Structure 1
């Protein structure tokens, strides 16, 4: 009996919900970091292990994910990724019951491994669903839903996880062992509800992918896997090599700022607000990125992507500098506004990094995706810096990241005139489709 394969439109509706889910889950880390920091009385470097583990999974799991998809196809890869992400979400239950930070970190790694698989599968899958000339519009829709997830998660997560009374280190020290255990059990249990809901949603999505018989598109994977160019060959091109560094630093800066926002805004000299109230500003930070993507889409139809990247990175660098030297409302809004100017950076860097790479485009793309590991390294370094010089002055690290991105946009992204480029193709649509 022949299966009835879902139409491309139905498949697109199901597939684009994945972008919302991984955006929601990823940014929920920004709420969990201050919660776990308080729960386990961590320093900033220890708290940033959350992002180190989470984004480190991109580096560790991206190549195995590609090999799995080559074997089972995009549909199978999406189902497997949803299931693995759901299992990671359920691991928050034993982590909360045992009140164990290492188990929380293990749960983050499993969760992120599933999201890595979804990222590797879903971006090209949505691109291949339908007419090639409309691939960009389909991926723009998907990325808009991703931004919606990153905007909603901090506000909802803050209300569910950070609404309870939080005790400081001095108050915790005054509690007897039984009261301390009860307090920590209550705080840890606040995490489980949202993640059980996430797990249930992911398993339902996996069922829908199976029930709607989404097109598998295995043959596209096989074609992509047929290229035999070495990664070393790709790194021989200056604009790719420098683009990998730019992605690493951009994602690192973006994640670092989001990770420190709640702790930073709750400081008496800055926002002097509760962590729950600060979480709403995290939504504004990520919401700015959503708005900026629509604005950037219009601007990029007329302006050079390298120059626009340089301008946006310059404004972001200025805003970080203001954040470092100011206090009160100026410091609050300067750091929140950075989200608006982060918006076009990932797709523009990606566009410039794969420009005119022809048959090597898939390898260049893989290297750029692996560079998302910057979200693991830079926040950890900023956490170490914050422990030594304070949270506010530690923002000098993202400032340095933006300075490099200015250089890449204006100069580093230029293709050497004597480079033997393997083809001269229009990569703009593919690059915009791969937006962060």
Structure 2
């Protein structure tokens, strides 16, 4: 397959990065929206992230088996179908007014995203020379950053409808409160209906286009090797740990930003929701673009170390400051953490050969950090403050720092 033959498949794969980035970055809007609608604690509202990211733990290995047996294209189509089904389930979830139904719909969406990410991340990195794998994956992930900018802005204007104030709500009867909050909760129907329809159209495109099936380099006996053989690679084990903590940090910072901004910065919910897009999302996007460009001159692992150190410092500022300085600190974290996921991923699957698909599954499986670590931050926030909760992402970035410093190094295995 020539370089030109890779172009259209690469464009289509990159579109998937945008779509899952968009739905993920509606979560920072959903969390405060559902928190108000169902009168939840911060820990209970964090179950939104738990429902999404626990799916990565449950589905990552089955996704790897699908890719191993049926190939990348089949995995992409299955993932898109689950994505669409989960989006459409938001309509009955809003109708029934059950928080658990919302969590179930999010879980199904995330099962689809797990399969998509298990397929698309290695596929993007393998569509070309391995020397430029990190650059190529960061380029695709830049569209994930674009989604991180657009989704909160769009979501805050559609989902966070101007309802009654908390003061007005407190003067209502219980039944009136329930009707008012139910009306606000139903605002999720339209965006998820539109999202599901778009995903169905993309699924149809993938059904009819021809994608090259990338074959990783094999050696004798590789076809009989499985997950345990993949785990024999030390740098893969490090990558799994680093990705667990990185995704946990990313979810803590982005998904709980609205709650942080209303507390530490003084924004109201809609201001915070919009800033999650044009502030945090745009910082994430610009950071991804600049970081991708810098990788032409700086080794990916060195850039990962530098950015990790900066993120640790900025998290400390986010814990200790309020107002404008606090806002600058968390926005800086969004900028400097932007390259971490694709860089950890590409370094983690480097030189895995026929273990690549299993290695990819294991790294995707480690995204479960996004389910568990925000619960820790939510708990700390409930017993102290959301600013003190930033100790969680601070520790996470220290683990990423260790991976960039030494854990990424490939040790040859038999």
TM-score in terms of structure 1 length: 0.85
- 2:245 aligns with 249
**Once the 2 structures are TM-superposed, how far is the Cα of residue 134 of structure 1 from its aligned partner?**
7.8
- 2:14 aligns with 16
For the residues of structure 2 that align with 1:305 and 1:221, how far apart are their CA atoms?
22
- 1:193 aligns with 190
1:273 matched to 2:271? The reply is no
1:226-271 superposed Cα distances (whole Å, 9 cap, x missing partner)? 633343344344433222111100110011111111011112xx32
For the residues of structure 2 that align with 1:408 and 1:84, how far apart are their CA atoms?
33
**Once the 2 structures are TM-superposed, how far is the Cα of residue 94 of structure 1 from its aligned partner?**
1.0
SS in 2 for 1:164: coil
Change (3 A) 1:347 1:208: closer
- 1:402 aligns with 397
**Once the 2 structures are TM-superposed, how far is the Cα of residue 142 of structure 1 from its aligned partner?**
2.8
In structure 1, runs of 5+ residues without a counterpart are 1-6, 423-436
For the residues of structure 2 that align with 1:130 and 1:308, how far apart are their CA atoms?
22
- 2:200 aligns with 203
State which of 48, 56, 59 in structure 1 corresponds to 2:57: 59
- Could you tell me whether the CA contact under 8 Å between 1:74 and 1:221 is conserved in 2? no
**Which deviates the most, 291-300 or 149-158?**
291-300
Change (3 A) 1:325 1:135: closer
**Which deviates the most, 345-354 or 328-337?**
345-354
**Once the 2 structures are TM-superposed, how far is the Cα of residue 297 of structure 1 from its aligned partner?**
2.3
Count of residues paired in the alignment: 408
**Once the 2 structures are TM-superposed, how far is the Cα of residue 98 of structure 1 from its aligned partner?**
1.1
1:155-208 superposed Cα distances (whole Å, 9 cap, x missing partner)? 11011111323543x754542133122202211111111101101111121222
State which of 228, 231, 240 in structure 2 corresponds to 1:232: 228
- Could you tell me whether the CA contact under 8 Å between 1:73 and 1:216 is conserved in 2? no
- Could you tell me whether the CA contact under 8 Å between 1:73 and 1:217 is conserved in 2? no
1:181 matched to 2:178? The reply is yes
**Which deviates the most, 365-374 or 218-227?**
218-227
**Once the 2 structures are TM-superposed, how far is the Cα of residue 70 of structure 1 from its aligned partner?**
4.2
SS in 2 for 1:42: coil
1:78 matched to 2:76? The reply is yes
**Once the 2 structures are TM-superposed, how far is the Cα of residue 272 of structure 1 from its aligned partner?**
1.5
- Could you tell me whether the CA contact under 8 Å between 1:76 and 1:216 is conserved in 2? no
**Once the 2 structures are TM-superposed, how far is the Cα of residue 39 of structure 1 from its aligned partner?**
0.6
Change (3 A) 1:119 1:365: closer
- 1:319 aligns with 314
Aligned residues: CA RMSD: 2.7
1:263 matched to 2:259? The reply is yes
For the residues of structure 1 that align with 2:93 and 2:218, how far apart are their CA atoms?
42
In structure 2, runs of 5+ residues without a counterpart are none
- 2:115 aligns with 117
- Could you tell me whether the CA contact under 8 Å between 2:134 and 2:343 is conserved in 1? no
1:421 matched to 2:413? The reply is yes
- 2:151 aligns with 153
**Once the 2 structures are TM-superposed, how far is the Cα of residue 325 of structure 1 from its aligned partner?**
0.6
- Could you tell me whether the CA contact under 8 Å between 2:71 and 2:213 is conserved in 1? yes
TM-score in terms of structure 2 length: 0.89
- Could you tell me whether the CA contact under 8 Å between 1:73 and 1:221 is conserved in 2? no
- Could you tell me whether the CA contact under 8 Å between 1:357 and 1:421 is conserved in 2? no
**Which deviates the most, 396-405 or 40-49?**
396-405
1:90 matched to 2:88? The reply is yes
- 1:3 aligns with none
1:339 matched to 2:334? The reply is yes
- Could you tell me whether the CA contact under 8 Å between 1:229 and 1:363 is conserved in 2? no
- 2:280 aligns with 285
